[in-house]
Structure 1
Amino acid sequence: MYSFRPCPPGTVPYMIRPGDTFYRIAMQFNTTVAALVSANPTVNPNYLFVGQQICIPRQPMYPPCPEGNYYTIRPGDTYFSIARFFNVSVDDLAEANPGVDLNRLFPGQIICIPLATPPVTCPAGTTPYTVVRGDTFFSLAVKFNTTVDAIRRANPTINPDALLIGQVICIPGPAVPPPPPPPSTCPTGTAPYTIKSGDTFYSLAIRNNTTIEAIQAANPTVDPNNLQVGQVICIPTGTPPPPPPPPPATCPEGTTAYTIKAGDTFYSLSIRYNTTIEAIQVANPTVDPNNLRIGQVICIPRTTPPTCPTGTTPYTIKSGDTFYNLSIRYNTSVEAIRRANPGVDPDALRVGQIICMPGSLTPSCPVGSAAYTIEAGDTFFSLARRYNTTVDAIQALNPDVDPNNLRIGQVICIPAERGEE
């Protein structure tokens, strides 16, 4: 008897038979000769011999199977042994797998197991049950409050290790397990609740403004990991959460009333309104920043634009701005920007923040060129076409501008339009 050597992942072993060639094998297993050669680098495809083992590249191929009863071939399997294992006929097995060669099964191959014929009637004291994915005699015994032996006795011709989806078996006792009886009375401070699909102690604790521990204490005999639809438990009624504090009558001077929305935090609000967390806390001394509630009204400090000294111009920080790239863009220096903004941290610029820029924000363009403000969709190429110039000429006038990172509102220099030559 041959023993298979391990094949690499994504391949399955195959034993050479009389007449086999790499071409024939590739056709049979829906692969290519090149893939076979790659999976078998030590095998000479021109000198195959009967009994030689090779590795065949395979991707799992699932044949049509109405009930989804797929089976993966193992070493030593035959149609006869598979049919006997699943209690189906060889003819039915062959009919369910029309594209499979009965005499050339290989490990890893996937076939379809036809559904067994369900029993016409179940014996007295049992009820028909249709097998679903994942069912075993053990799980069914637990589910229906019976034993594995009782299910075996009720189904003497069924192999418990070969249950098929859609197969009908007989379950001793009633078909539907009765839900646990409701508690006779719920203790004071709790109310009865009927379990619905998807309920957990956690979701119920959130929904009813209580805790998991309180629900467990009110239901000491209930397994929280085995809740059943229709089961009745006791939910602590608790005290409803206090209403959000009323909005302040007036916000102090220099602040504006703001209504909290989902996702708001003091941090996100400080960024949005160009202020600081500390300033918001000072304006709202009675508000817990870790317990903001939707609909709650707080006061947001208003940011007063700085008064820029003579010789400077207000500038609103945009995404990506730094003192360095601003100095390049507006032909100044980082030190000059620092001196114009002594209270600004250059490493903590915020979008929307207003600073003072030395000089004018319009670059000084040399003679023979003119200032141009970038608009949506502009590129050096489109501007060169529009102003009858070249990309190189625009780049020469704007050596510090990145043509791949133009921003709306950015000012550059464009060569004056050339006349007809």
Structure 2
Amino acid sequence: SGDTLYLLAIRYNTTVEAIMAANPGINPNNLQIGQVICIPGAAVPPPPTCPVGTFSYTIKSGDTLYQLAITYNTTVEAIMAVNPGINPNNLQIGQVICIPRGGTPVPPCDGFYYTVRPGDTLFSIAAAFNVPLSALMAANPGVDPNNLQIGQQICIPKVMPPPISCPGGTVYTVRENDNLGTILLRFNLSYMDLQAANPNVDLDMLKPGQQLCIMPHQERGCPCPRGTMEYTIVRGDIPHDGATVVALARKFNTSVSELMKINPNLAPGDFVVGKVICVPHHKNYPSA
């Protein structure tokens, strides 16, 4: 359904005239579903003879000249130069093209890959991941810093940060998917504990590889901040798995990170029956 001689000619790499010549009497304006017609064999062009310094490559599903240029450490322009007449927007599966041999092989990425987004620059990427610009450029020798492409893969190298001072505590390296709440839960710390031990760190903007000083928990007195109210923990707040902070955050429609921040003096282990804590002040909140 929906077939036309024009579409069939494109699909099978031939022409309308050639199909009509192979099917005398066919009415191109009245094709019938189930009608059997002959499709002349399209002439398959011989594979190109690749010049010295290049090699032949057979196009696979999903290939683009941009991806091939990155994979083989060359440029789209260089590929097009050795394939005159190639249409970069109409690569065919099975098509054989020539790929220039890259100069310096791209070193393996010892960190992780980041996909370039609109507005990104190498400088902004380096700042976002706390990596020296020189280290970022060294890990991406084939990347033109003045011509980043949206969707381009950039290697973010592992950079060993200078050791932080943490007398009496332990140094923890932030992992992928860590956030303020998960770290406070893991080490049974209060927000004030972590902030006091890391005064120059923005705890809301933690990044993988960042180092934190972990000191033992010390409970301190602290009034409830504006926009919150006092709440006394009852037995029904304690779940079977003991994750009271998680259950209370869910009960008061907030996150673990936010609940810990409005109770900056408390560690997760302090949330016990009878403890007075601060919770978000909502008009409609669950009853105890």
For normalisation by structure 1, the TM-score amounts to 0.36
Q: Which has the higher contact order (CA 8 A, sep 6+)?
A: 2
Highest Rg: 1 or 2? 1
